[in-house]
Structure 1
Amino acid sequence: MISQKAQYALKALVVLARLEPGEAITTVQIAEKRDIPRKFLEQILLELKRHGLVASKRGRDGGYMLLRSADKITFGEVLRIVDGPLAPLPCLSKVAYRRCEGCTDEESCEVRRVFKLVTSATRAVLDRATIEDAITTDDDDLAQFMVSAAA
């Protein structure tokens, strides 16, 4: 399950992706559009800015905008920034690997074997699905895309 923070980050990025190139929107406007607590949104946007996904602009027409195009920002990248590793078990994490407590042999672990498949399929989908896909792809095409990514 993804965190509320990750959901808000993805919702904010969708709002930013719908803007015209060069257009900016304030945190107040984003918060109102997507019903996100403004102070929490500000923290999220600062984190996304530190990771090079969004930029801020000062002044009368200031606010936030995407730094990279929506088709270059994946759900997987955003989730890793906000929530950390995608793997449900520490022994499957690519960035935060550690042996599971009480594990004597990862290769023969039945639980790990099943979750390795789950993790692989999840990564495949999330690392291919972009913010642009969420906006432009209809439900049937998106479902087909997800199935093909996980295969």
Structure 2
Amino acid sequence: MLSKKVKYAIKALIFISKNVEANKPVSAKLISAKEKIPYKFLETILRELKQNKILKSERGAEGGYSFLKAPHEISVAEILRFIDGPISMMNCVSVNYYQKCEDCIDEETCSIKLLFTEVRDATLPILNKTIAELSK
């Protein structure tokens, strides 16, 4: 299940992408009000996006958040991974967070692993859509 933190991060990034005016930053208060995201929770999310070099922030009356990394370079999968961790439903299927399955006799013939590898392979191309693509 998608966490609210990831959902709000994606919503905030799309909002910033759609509301960037001549490189002026977008305020957290505006994002919070327009996207109905609790302000304090949004601040935490935006700080995490900044720490992961997705956004940059500027202080002051005209301050706010803008992209450090271009929206066409930011995938939903990337946001999911650094906020919630592995995308795969099982560690033995994960590309980036692989761990051997403790109770599996033979991973090569495990029908459960084969099924969830298929799920991963079908899901990843969709999750690799970028913030720019979602902002159209």
Please give the TM-score of this superposition, normalised by the length of structure 1: 0.85
Give the distance between the partners of 2:101 and 2:42, measured in 1 at CA: 34
Task: Classify 1:21/1:76 alpha carbon distance in 2 versus 1 (closer, same or farther; 3 Å).
Answer: farther
Q: CA RMSD in A?
A: 1.1
Alignment of 1:21-100 (within 5 A): 21-100=22-101
More deviation, 41-50/15-24: 15-24
Q: Post-superposition shift, 1:100?
A: 2.2
Q: Which structure 1 residue ranges, 5 or more long, are not aligned?
A: 137-151
Cα pair 1:52 1:67 within 8 Å, conserved? yes
2:6 — aligned with what?
Answer: 6
Identify the structure with the greater helix proportion.
1
Q: Structure 1: which amino acid aligns with 2:107?
A: E
**Structure 1 residue ranges, 4+ long, deviating more than 6 angstroms after superposition:** none
Task: Classify 1:77/1:61 alpha carbon distance in 2 versus 1 (closer, same or farther; 3 Å).
Answer: same
Give the distance between the partners of 2:127 and 2:133, measured in 1 at CA: 11
Q: Post-superposition shift, 1:21?
A: 3.8
Cα pair 1:17 1:69 within 8 Å, conserved? no
- Across the two proteins, how many residue pairs are aligned to each other? 135
Does structure 1 residue 17 correspond to structure 2 residue 12? no
Give the distance between the partners of 1:32 and 1:5, measured in 2 at CA: 16
Give the distance between the partners of 2:54 and 2:31, measured in 1 at CA: 16
Give the distance between the partners of 1:20 and 1:121, measured in 2 at CA: 36
Give the distance between the partners of 2:36 and 2:70, measured in 1 at CA: 24
Q: Structure 1: which amino acid aligns with 2:15?
A: V
- % identity of equivalent residues: 39
Cα pair 1:16 1:65 within 8 Å, conserved? yes
Q: Post-superposition shift, 1:126?
A: 1.1
Q: Post-superposition shift, 1:101?
A: 3.2
Please give the TM-score of this superposition, normalised by the length of structure 2: 0.94
Alignment of 1:88-127 (within 5 A): 88-127=89-128
Per the alignment, in what secondary structure is the counterpart of residue 108 of structure 2? helix
